[in-house]
Amino acid sequence: METQTTLEHRMLNDTLGAFGEGKTTVLSAEQGILLLEGWLNALQGDIGAERILAELAELRNHIKQDDYDNEKIRHLLLSLASHTSTLSHEPRVDLTTAGQLKQLVNALRNFSSQL
């Protein structure tokens, strides 16, 4: 079976790599902004991604501020986790990608609890 190397798949792999395996994630604001901008580019034009794109842009813009609010970041991360969880159950998502999306959901939830 051929592995797709779409921008979305590369971003998924990069994001999972950035969050790491464990419960504690060390991710700087700059790293977060770069990941968010990568996702904004990867999902641009995807049908049905408007809501996620809006939340990604809101999160990126909020983190760029000097006085960002961890509670707002936590809320946005949990919302993104919820959307990602829903996406992982879509029939068009293959099993490998669904598993990675579920890992991402856990990583987003874990990271939000560290804020």
List, for residues 74-96, the tens digit of each pLDDT value. 999 999 999 999 999 999 899 99
Give residue-wise pLDDT tens across range 8-59. 999 999 999 998 866 677 888 999 999 999 999 999 988 878 889 999 999 9
Give the number of other CB atoms < 10 A from CB of residue 89. 10
Instruction: Measure Cα distances from 78 to 21, 58, 71, 105 in Å.
Output: 19, 13, 11, 9
What's the mean pLDDT when you consider all of the chain?
Answer: 90
- For residues 38 and 18, the answer to whether their CB atoms sit within 8 Å is no
The two structure tokens encoding residue 92: 């068009």
Residue 5: is its pLDDT beyond 70? no
Task: State the DSSP code for 4.
Answer: P
Find tokens 């999972």 and name the residue: 16
